[in-house]
Structures are given as C-alpha cells and as structure tokens.
Amino acid sequence: MIKNAGIILARMDSRRFPKKVLMPIGGIPLLECCAAGVLRTKSFSPILATTTRPVDQPLVDFAAQIGVPCFRGDLDNVYQRVCKCLSYYGVDIFARINGDSPFVQADLLDAGLDLLEQQNCDFVTNLVPRRFPYGVSVEICRSKIFLQAENFLSTAEHKEHITSYFYQNLSRIRHSTLVGESDLSSVRLTIDTPEDLKRIERMQKTEPDILTSSLSKVLEIYQQN
C-alpha cells in the first residue's frame, strides 16, 4: 500500500514532442525529474500511471530502473486509469503530477496536503485562480471522493482531463485553494515543445541545480533566459 501518492501521468507519443518524457535535462530524463520532485516531499511517493500500449513500454522499463512503481491502464479514459491505480496501490490521498513538468515543487505539495488535512476538505488546488506558472500545479484529492465521482462523469473531457469534473462542480465539493501572491501564469515551466526544453537547458547552464532550486530562484533564472 502507498498511503499518499504522486501519480505521474505520462505517455511516449505526445503529438507536439514525441518521447519527451524520457528526454534528458542535464543528463536526467524528464520522468526521473518528476519522480525526484515527488520524493523530495515529506509524505508523497511517486507512481507512474501510463497506458497498456507497447509504445509506452520504455516508460515502464525506466520506471522500474529507478524504482518507481507503475500502473498501466486505458489510453483515452485517463480517469479510469487513475481510479484503478488508486485501488491497486491502496492510495488514500493523491497529487496529480504532469509527466512534462520537471519543476515539481515539494514545498507546495506539502502545503497542499497540510491544507487538505487541516481543513478536512477533499480537494486542494492552486489553479483557481491560476496565478502560479504553467508546470507548477498543485492538485490533491482524497481517493474516496475521486472514485465516487467516476459515477458522475458525463463527457469525454472529464475522462481525459481528470480534474475537469471537479472544477466544474466546485460548489458541490469540499475544497480549498492555494493562491499565489502575484500572477505568474504567463511563465512556462512545462515542456510541451522542443523549444521549451531548450529554454530549460539554458536555465540549467546558468544554474546547474535549477531542478532542485526554490521556485523564487527558478523564476529569477527564467527571467534571465
């Protein structure tokens, strides 16, 4: 059993940047950067949630190589994939981790978990309103609520974008938010394209420890590149 999990959603065949999840940043594959960010938290353990397709076998193999548990499920019904992953590993609380976001902020995930427990709510986010950079998201949910909500999904969007149902029904869900002090939503710290990767590589040349730096330091280096 894994009580608190950082569920890393990833696949190999991104349309804009295929195989990006295993692209190295300073010699460290992107998937490993994500997993390392989760491991820096006080309470979360990483799990890779990918698909059953042969194209994603390299992800499964690499996750095993670095000691990250894996669950394989449906390509299009990502919500169901996560539900089955939660049940398989006996997860109580999980954080959604995007497999293209190397700057996982452990302190924000810890703060989100503290907020969830202190306020006895079911869902915590830092995306309402969006003030943090793209690639620095906090979405933490109790597995029980997530599993129950599967019965109410009504659109393909709900199944593909696993927290969309929650945002469309916040008034019905016990939730809380982490709000950034300033609006940084124009900052891109995710890797959607080869150009995004090149920018982060430039940032790393300026600051070799950029992937483990504080968000304030990351933003400082970002402005220089």
Mean pLDDT of the chain: 96
Per-residue exposure over 55-64, b if at least 16 CB sit within 10 Å of its own CB, e if not: ebeebbebbe
Q: What is the CATH number of the domain that holds 56?
A: 3.90.550.10
Domain containing 78 equals 4-190
Query: How many CA atoms does the CB half-sphere of 186 hold within 13 Å?
Result: 3
Q: What is the pLDDT of residue 62?
A: 98
Q: What is the pLDDT of residue 181?
A: 86
On whether residue 223 sits in a domain, the answer given is: no
Cβ count near 203 (within 10 Å):
23
The answer on pLDDT for 212 being more than 90 is yes
On whether residue 203 sits in a domain, the answer given is: no
- Report the distance separating Cα 17 and Cα 192, nearest Å: 6
Cβ count near 2 (within 10 Å):
19
On whether residue 49 sits in a domain, the answer given is: yes
On whether residue 201 sits in a domain, the answer given is: no
φ/ψ (deg, to 5) at 52: -85, 0
Q: Report whether 210 contacts 203 (CB < 8 A).
A: yes
Average pLDDT for residues 177-206, to the nearest whole number?
94
On whether residue 181 sits in a domain, the answer given is: yes
pLDDT tens-digit map of 62-80: 999 999 999 999 999 999 9
Angle at 163 (CA atoms; ends 72, 192), nearest 5 degrees: 70
Q: What domain count does the chain have?
A: 1
Nearest-CA neighbor of 19 among 52, 68, 62, 49? 62
Q: Report whether 104 contacts 96 (CB < 8 A).
A: no
- Report the distance separating Cα 83 and Cα 77, nearest Å: 10
On whether residue 180 sits in a domain, the answer given is: yes
- Report the distance separating Cα 169 and Cα 158, nearest Å: 11
pLDDT tens-digit map of 165-179: 999 999 999 999 999
Average pLDDT for residues 6-22, to the nearest whole number?
94
Cβ count near 66 (within 10 Å):
14
pTM comes to 0.96
